[in-house]
Chain A
C-alpha cells in the first residue's frame, strides 16, 4: 500500500521530479495527497539564514554580538571547517584526528587544515575507533583539546566502551582529579537517501543515557559552527552528531566571527498556539514541511516548532512551557522508536504537563528495524508521517 503510493504515476505532475523522490510520502490510499505541490526539504526551508539580513535579524546572534559583523556563505561542512580552524588558531593545545582527516575527511570537513596548521596537529589515525576514543581521552586527560572524528556515527560503537566508561566517568571516579573534558567527538549521522544499514544511523539515544557526556545535533551551518565551538570549549566530553545530509544542502550566511551557541538550550523556530512539534538535526526540515501542510489544511491552526539542538542535557523547560500553552506534543527523530530519545522526552513531559495535555504525545520515529537500504522511504519519519501525527494529535477526541 505504501509502496503503491510512492509509485503512483499521478504524483509526477504535482511537483518537481527531485521533490517527489525526497518526499518519502506515506499517505494512505484514498486520502487527499498531502504534499500537493509543496516544495519540500532543506533546500526550500524558510528556517535557514540565507541572507545577511536574516543574520542581522537573528535575536540569538544579536545577543552574542555577531549579527552585525562580516558573514560568509557556507554550507554546514564549511561552517564546521571554520569552527575547527578557529579552534586550532586560538588553542595551541588543540589537535584534530581521525580516519582520513588530514586529507580533509570523507566529507571534507577538515579540508585545508593540515596544510595550514601542520601534520602534528591534524593527523590521520588507523581504522581504530576504540583506539581513537581512548587515545583522545588520554590526550584530554593531559589538558589538551582533542577533537576526534569518527568517520560515520555508525562506526562509533566500537568506541562505546571508551566513551561511556572512560570519558564520561573519568571526572567522577577520580574525585575531579582527572577528566576527559577536552575531548569532543564529531561523527556524521542520520539518513542520506542511500546509506543503508551502516552509513545512516542516529545513535544519539545511546549516549543521551550517559551522565557525564554532552550530546549535540546541529541543524544548519550557523548552528553547527556555534554548537561545535561550544562542544569543543565545554569542559565536559561532548559528542557532536552531524546530520550528513546537511553538509552540502544546508547553506547559510554564517558570521565570520568566533561565537559559541549555548549547550542545553533549545530554540523556538516558529511560534504556534495549538501543538508543540519537537525535533533536531535534519528532522527539523521534515517537521517544517509537516507544519506547513497542517496549517494549510487546517486554517487557523498554528504549530510551535522547537529544535532541541542539544540532546543531553536537553531543554525540557522550553518544551514543557510550550506544551503547557499548546496542550499537544509531537516528537520526531530518525532513530528507531523503541527506546528512542522521544520516549524520554515524552515521559518527562507527561510528568510535568499531565493535566495540560489534550491528546496523547505522538512519536514519529524511524521504524524499529535496522536502517534499511531499499526501504529507507518507508523507514523515515518523513514530512507526511509527521503531518499525519500532528493531525491525529489535533483531531484527538477521547
Chain B
C-alpha cells in the first residue's frame, strides 16, 4: 500500500530492527542518552497464577512519542470512518474502536512482525498497526477496489501481513489463533500469536476449546480479552458468571491489564510473549472502554448512561492520559504533541480523500477468489441464466 504524508514517512523510517525485535530495540534505546524510565504506578496489573510484569519500563523518547502518534492516527481513522458512515460512504456493519486505541497500539509495539495477530470485527486499529495504510482501510470500508481486501471484505474483514483478520463470527477466530500458534511452534519460530476477542465472545464455547488445546500442547498463544464492559448492549456481569476474564483459562495463567494505558498493554504483552514462547499460553484481559456504540446502528446510550461515557472520556482516555504522562516525564512538549495531533488529522484527511476517489471493484471480481483460479468449480450462477459465470 502506498503511504502518503509525514506520518507515513515516519512509519516507514522507523528502524526495521526496532520493529523486528522490539525488546532488543527497547534495550538498545534504553542505553541511548534519550532513554526514559517510566513508572506505570500501582495496580496496573493483576496476576492469576503468575507474577505480574514490572511496573517500570524504559524506552527511547522517539518510540514513546511514536505510540502517541499511532494512537492519534487510529482515533482519527475511526473518526473518519464514523463521518464517512454518516455520509453514507460506508454501508453495512462498522464497528469502531474509539476509546480502545491503547490496545492495538500497545499490542503491536510489543510484537515483532513474525508474531501473528488475529482478532474479531473491531479490527481497524489492528489492521493499521500491522502495516496497512489508512487509505487501504478507508477504501476497504467504502468497498473500493484498492481496499486492503480489494473492497470485498469491508469493515470486519481486513488483513495485513501476519494479521489474520478481521473475523465476523463472534469467538470463531480464537481456535484459529491456536492453529496459527501451532504452526509457529511446528516451525520452531521464535514467535507467538495474539488471539483477541471481546468480553461477549469470552462466553463462547469454542474459546474454551481453544484454551484447552493451547495448554495441552503448550502453544505460544496469547488469548487477549478486550473487556470493554459491554457485549453489544449487555453489561459483562449480566452475561458472564465470572467477569475476571484473565482467570477464565483456569489452568492457564492470566494477567489483567489496564487497557487504557498503552504502556501497560505494551509491558504486559512483551512479558506474556516471552512467557508464551518458552512456556505456552496465557490469558490477558485488557480493561478498556468503547466510546461509541457496539456498531454504527447502536447509539450506545440505551444500556449505559451518557454520564458514564463522559466520565470515562474525561478520566480514562488513553490518549489524554498518555499525553499527560509524556508531558510529566518531559518526553515531549505540549507544542510538539499538538503538532502531532494536527499532522495526524491532516494525514487521515488526505488518506480519506484519496480513498474516496477510488472506484468500486469491477463486477467481474464477484467471481474471483471463491476458489483458487484454475481449481474453480466449472461455473457459478448469477441472477439469471445469462449471468452464469463460467470459469473455463
Contact = CB atoms under 8 A, between A and B. Distances in A.
Contacts of A351: 385
Interface in A144-181: 144, 146, 161-162, 165-166, 171-179, 181
A135 B369 contact: no
Contacts of A214: 371
Given A134-B176, A135-B176, A138-B180, A175 B148 contact: yes
A313 B372 CA distance: 13
Contacts of A120: 186
B213 interface: yes
Interface string A255-280: 00000000110000000000000000
A174 B153 contact: yes
Dominant SS at the A interface?
Answer: mixed
A80 to B, nearest CB: 22
A175 B213 contact: no
A29 to B, nearest CB: 45
Contacts of B51: none
B179 A142 contact: yes
Interface in B208-238: 209-210, 212-213, 216-217
A141 B180 contact: yes
Interface in A162-204: 162, 165-166, 171-179, 181
B165 interface: yes
A162 B210 contact: no
Contact of A212 (B116, B147, B371, B385): B371
B375 interface: yes
A131 B206 contact: yes
A137 B157 contact: no
Given A126-B213, A174-B157, A139 B169 contact: no
B377 A264 contact: yes
A128 interface: yes
Contacts of B372: 171, 179, 181, 235-236
A120 B186 CA distance: 8
Contact of B210 (A134, A173, A234): A134
B371 A162 contact: no
B71 interface: no
B380 A211 contact: yes
A351 B379 CA distance: 15
A178 B181 CA distance: 16
B205 A130 contact: yes
A142 B186 CA distance: 11
A134 B149 contact: no
Interface string A297-318: 0000000000000001100110
Contacts of B150: 175-176
Interface residues of B, number: 50
Contact of A138 (B176, B370, B380): B176
A235 B373 CA distance: 9
Nearest to A310: B377
Contact of A126 (B118, B209, B375): B209
A71 interface: no
A313 B377 contact: yes
Interface in B152-206: 152-153, 157, 159, 164-169, 172-184, 186, 205-206
Nearest to A134: B175
Select the residue from A134, A234, A235, A316 with max chain B CB neighbours within 10 A.
A134
A316 B180 CA distance: 37
B39 interface: no
Nearest to B385: A351
A175 B153 contact: yes
Contacts of B166: 173-174
B165 A128 contact: no
B182 A139 contact: yes
Contacts of A176: 150, 368-369
B153 A142 contact: no
A287 interface: no
A125 interface: yes
Contacts of B380: 211
A172 B209 contact: no
Contacts of A390: none
A333 to B, nearest CB: 20
Contacts of A142: 116, 179-180, 183-184
Contacts of B370: 171-172, 211-212
Contacts of B375: 234-236, 263
Contacts of B299: none
B172 A172 contact: no
Contacts of A171: 369-372
Nearest to B204: A130
Given A134-B206, A137-B176, A138-B176, A173 B149 contact: yes
Nearest to A138: B179
B171 to A, nearest CB: 9
A95 interface: yes
A370 to B, nearest CB: 24
A136 interface: yes
Interface in B343-374: 368-372
A117 B78 CA distance: 49
Contacts of B210: 131, 134-135
A144 B186 contact: yes
Interface of B: 116, 118, 147-153, 157, 159, 164-169, 172-184, 186, 205-206, 209-210, 212-213, 216-217, 368-372, 375-378, 380, 385
Given A139-B182, A178-B165, A236-B371, 8 more contacts: A135-B213, A174-B149, A177-B159, A178-B159, A178-B164, A235-B372, A312-B377, A317-B378
